[in-house]
Amino acid sequence: MKKVVAIGGGTGLSTLLQGLISFDVDITAIVAVTDNGGSSGRLRVLYDVIPPGDIRNCISALAPRPTAKLLQHRFSGNELDKHAAGNLLLLSAFQQNKTPTIGTKRVCRALGIKHTVLPVSNKKLTLLAKYGKKKITGEVDISKEKETVNRVSLKPENAQTTPEVLKAIKAADIITIGPGSLFTSVIAPLLTPGVREAVKESNAPKHYICNLMTQPNETLNFSAKDHLKALITHTGKNYDFCYVNIGKPPKQISTQYEKEKQSFIKINLKDIYQGTKIIQNNYLDIKGKRIRHNAESLIKDILRNS
């Protein structure tokens, strides 16, 4: 059974995991811990813990549907307003165990999850973004800034990843990066000291899953090549494959995204960058009025190229 290590955060990683569980692979999700918004941000400040939201999403993706529904339930009103039940469960596990990594493992075990979810660090990390001479701190403010990001970094700089993460990367047969917000979900966990080096040293094929759409401000007008270039510039590592969607949604959905200042990632022959092979396919899955990656098609191509 092949060991797949999936690195990322946000909804992109959980979408990939939902597809991966249909295949005969051993999954380890390595999850970003830089979120400072919403329920995660509030718990991060109040209890001085790593943000649980992205970890919850990954656990939910690997859990049976009834369990996932319980974890994703959000309370309304009073002190618990907008907190997700899974976030509170993880908070309890963080407080009762020596490290968030141990707490996360015990939650997975209690829920009967066969795969592994690991926070990229046991220390809460803060993302810093540079725009020319200007710097912005924290994911929430970075996403609001109306400029394209030039460079991101982590604070504290000396925060380390965990032995569990390093062991998983070393044992991996396949490493996937993304999909997700380029700077806040994809690059951020790779910047954690130890992770970048471990990925670089691994002999496993590295598969970067490019977003379906650009993001307002952060990656405005970015092509597939621009995404790859930013990733390689930050991590110092070439990637074997880059997966780019060529499917098109109905016009009404396209129009809605255009109103939100988002556009489909552009690709052409010039998008080949530093030897990375571009894989083009229809990876589009329409969920109501939103689009997501079709994880099944994506994973079939990843396994074919591994």
Task: Give the CATH number for residue 175.
Answer: 3.40.50.10680
Give all strands of the β-sheet with 134-137 in edge-to-edge order: 134-137, 126-131, 151-155
For residue 205, is pLDDT > 60?
yes
Cα atoms in the Cβ-side hemisphere of radius 13 Å centred on 291? 24
Question: Residue 253: its pLDDT value, please?
Answer: 87
User: Is residue 246 within 8 Å of 280, Cβ to Cβ?
Assistant: yes
Q: Which domain, by its residues, includes 172? A: 2-304
| Residue reference for tokens 């690195």 | 7
Give the Cα separation of 177 and 55 in Å (integer).
16
46 pLDDT higher than 90: yes
pLDDT above 90 covers a percentage of the chain that reads 76
Over residues 271-289, mean pLDDT = 85
Rounded to an integer, the average pLDDT of 27-56 is 97
pLDDT at 269: 57
**pLDDT confidence of 255, banded at 50, 70, 90?**
confident
Predicted pLDDT of residue 287: 83
Summarised one tens digit per residue, pLDDT across range 110-169 is: 999 999 999 999 999 999 999 888 899 999 898 888 888 889 999 998 899 999 999 999
Domain count, the chain: 1
pLDDT at 270: 66
DSSP the chain: -EEEEEEE-HHHHHHHHHHHTTSSEEEEEEE-----SHHHHHHHHHHT----HHHHHHHHHHS-HHHHHHHH-B--SGGGTT-BHHHHHHHHHHHHSSSHHHHHHHHHHHTT--SEEEES-SS--EEEEEETTEEEESHHHHHH-SS---EEEEESTT----HHHHHHHHH-SEEEE-SS-IIIIIIHHHTSTTHHHHHHH--S-EEEE--SB--TTTTTT-BHHHHHHHHHHHH----SEEEEE-----HHHHHHHHHTT--BPB--GGG--TTPEEEEE--EEEETTEEEE-HHHHHHHHHHT-
Closest C-alpha to 265, from 252, 290, 247, 285: 247
Mean pLDDT of 211-223: 88
Q: For tokens 């800034």, what's the residue?
A: 145
* Percentage of residues of the chain with pLDDT beyond 70: 98
Whether residue 271 is predicted with pLDDT greater than 80 in this model: the reply is no
Tell me the per-residue pLDDT of 232-254, one tens digit each, with 9 for 90 and over: 999 987 899 999 999 988 888 88
Q: What is the pTM of this model?
A: 0.95
**HSE of 220 in the Cβ direction (CA atoms, 13 Å)?**
14
Report the pLDDT averaged over residues 36-62.
Answer: 97
